[in-house]
Structure 1
Amino acid sequence: MALLKVLLLLLGLGVSVNFAVSLQKRIIGGHNCADTERQYHVRLEVTNGQTTTICGGSLIHPKWILTADTCWKTETGWFTRAIIKVHPRTAILGIFDIQGGPVVYNPDGWRHDIILLKLQRQVNDVPLAQLPDCTYRLKKDDIVQLAGEGATTTGPNNLHLSNVAPATHLQCVDMKVVEAHNFLLPYGRLFSASAPNKDVCYGDAGSAAVFNGKIYGVISPGVPVSACEQPVLIMDVCEYIGWIRARTGLK
């Protein structure tokens, strides 16, 4: 299963920083995130010295990032670093190294598409993302806010592109939950969301899905070939909340 996730990542779940600009229409249907929200958003840059891909993540603890397993390269020669304060753009970026490898969730003998990354040093000046109140579970038709720095353009025939510039400003988009509870290999425990003419794109994997100001989901890949074609797959954080708290020490 881990190999399948790696193959998905190689197909473009990150965004190359060596990009060619597309002049096609904007398709995400979102808007610039307010400067006062999502300051916990993290850009994960994964590089082997020649190729660099990006994913999103969320700082949930001064030393812990919550993201998607798809965002971690398992092959030798790849290095991952976390870029803090990518939003708002007026902030001074901070570059942090990851301590060791990811903490994975694999009680079933395969890795679910959710991981924790521990930073080598503590972040002291960034508001932390709030974990969900799982006494309330998402229901169909609830509205969640997704965000990311992935591409906001499409190619011919509305095809997703994997090699365009990251968004110049963190993008937010509202979507309606269309399926509240699901289990899908090779991802894990999910919910899905959709909205007319709105979508996530390559590079948005790992970013947070927010409800009532709290992280209820982590965007999983599952990006179809064409934009706005299928609901977005989102890892259900409440299904993993015990594991997250136990590994990070969060109450």
Structure 2
Amino acid sequence: MQGLRRLMIDSILHCVSVNSDISLQKRIIGGYNCHHTERLYHVRLENSNGNNKYRCRGSLIHPEWILTAAHCWKSEDGWTNRATLKVHPRTAGQQNRVIQQDPVIYDQHHDIMLLKLQTPVTDVPLAQLPDCRRRLQVGDVVQLAGEGATTAGPNNDRCERNIEVMRIKSFVSKLLVCTVCRVSLRLQYLPTGDTGGAAVHNDMIYGVISFSGGYACQIPVVILDMCEYLWWINISHILKTSGLH
């Protein structure tokens, strides 16, 4: 536990205020700010129809493909689905893309999908898929990242967010059921706007965040086990359209 506490303290960087109108109940409390070399593949996904706006997260796993949760797509008339690349670090210079092709979704019972970009991304390091010869075990530590808040400031500012340290408790079918590991902070939880992002272990994506509850330890965070879906990624449109044979 002391090692985790030291990791969090050593990694604190700066906070950037964005979207202060987001309610505190839907934001991260606790953790540490991502280092400027971490999570460069992190993608912000946004659905909007002029009146409403929803956000998710994703990971760039190929120059043309984003991995995320299936519930992060809006297919109704009037909705636009956008991806913002290079959201971290802030100095990288964000790139906005409209997703024009239909998503590749596993099926209606599995909350995982692939989004294809119109043109390849050539200047962002890609996320690494897991080494499934070494599957996650109960008690392994994974990391989550998003754009929640590190602290509840006087104006409830939303800060360029931390990696939350999570500890795996149990496995349920193709889902990993995770709860927040209490380190040195009083309260930590995952906001709903950070679903679709990656659960990382040893710098590889071992899970996709499907959904989460509100306050810490009341409802577990549910993460899809990537090792159960690698075969689907390998035979899906990624391989067929990108030449990754």
TM-score scaled by length of structure 1: 0.78
**For each residue in 1:72-123, what CA deviation from the matched residue of structure 2 results, as whole angstroms up to 9, or x when unmatched?**
11322111011000001111000112131110102xxx34100000001110
Match of 1:29 in 2: 30
Aligned to 1:216: 206
Q: Which amino acid aligns with 2:175?
A: L
Q: Distance in 2 between matches of 1:97 and 1:120?
A: 8
Q: Per-residue displacement from partner, 1:26-59 (whole Å, max 9, x unpaired)?
A: 8632110111010000000110012211100000
Partner residue, 2:231: 242
Q: Which runs of 5+ in 1 are unaligned?
A: 1-16, 155-163, 184-188
SS in 1 for 2:192: coil
Question: Is the contact made by 2:178 and 2:221 (CA closer than 8 Å) also made in structure 1?
Answer: yes
Distance 1:94 1:29 in 2: 28
| Corresponding residue number in structure 2 for 1:173 | 164
Q: Offset at 1:152?
A: 5.8
Question: Does the CA-based 8 Å contact 1:28-1:173 persist in structure 2?
Answer: no
Aligned residue number for residue 6 of structure 2? none
The 8 Å contact of residues 28 and 188 in structure 2, kept in 1 or not, is answered as yes
> Does residue 130 of structure 1 match 2:128?
yes
State the secondary structure of the residue aligned to 2:193.
Answer: coil
What secondary structure does 1:203 align onto? helix
The CA distance in 2 between the partners of 1:102 and 1:175, in whole Å, is 29
Partner amino acid, structure 1, of 2:188? K
SS at 1:105's partner residue? strand
Name the aligned partner's letter for residue 236 of structure 1.
Answer: D
1:192 to 177, 197, 200: 177
Identity %: 53
Change (3 A) 1:46 1:150: farther
Match of 1:202 among 188, 192, 197: 192
CA distance in 2, matches of 1:23, 1:137: 35
Counterpart Cα distance in 2 of 1:87 and 1:19: 19
Distance in 2 (alpha carbons) for counterparts of 1:202 and 1:152: 16
Displacement after TM superposition at 1:243 (Å): 0.6
Structure 2: stretches of 5+ with no match in the other structure = 1-17
> Which residue is 2:140 aligned to?
142
Quick check: 1:231 aligned with 2:229? no
2: distance between equivalents of 1:204 and 1:27?
A: 9
Number of equivalent positions: 214
Matched, 1:40 2:41: yes
Give 3-state SS (helix, strand or coil) of 2:90's partner: coil
Give 1:150 shift: 3.7
State how far apart, in whole Å, the 2-side matches of 1:120 and 1:130 are: 21
SS at match of 1:120: coil
Q: Matches of 1:210 and 1:96 in 2, distance apart?
A: 25
Aligned to 1:56: 57
Q: Report if aligned partners of 1:193, 1:232 keep a CA contact under 8 Å in 2.
A: yes
The two structures have a TM-score, normalised by structure 2, of: 0.80
CA distance in 1, matches of 2:214, 2:72: 19
Q: CA RMSD in A?
A: 2.3
Match of 1:160 in 2: none
Query: CA offsets per residue over residues 164-207 of structure 1, 9 Å max, x none?
Result: 86x4313211111111x313xxxxx2102221233211211000
Structure 1 199/133 Cα, relative in aligned 2: closer, same or farther at 3 Å?
Answer: same
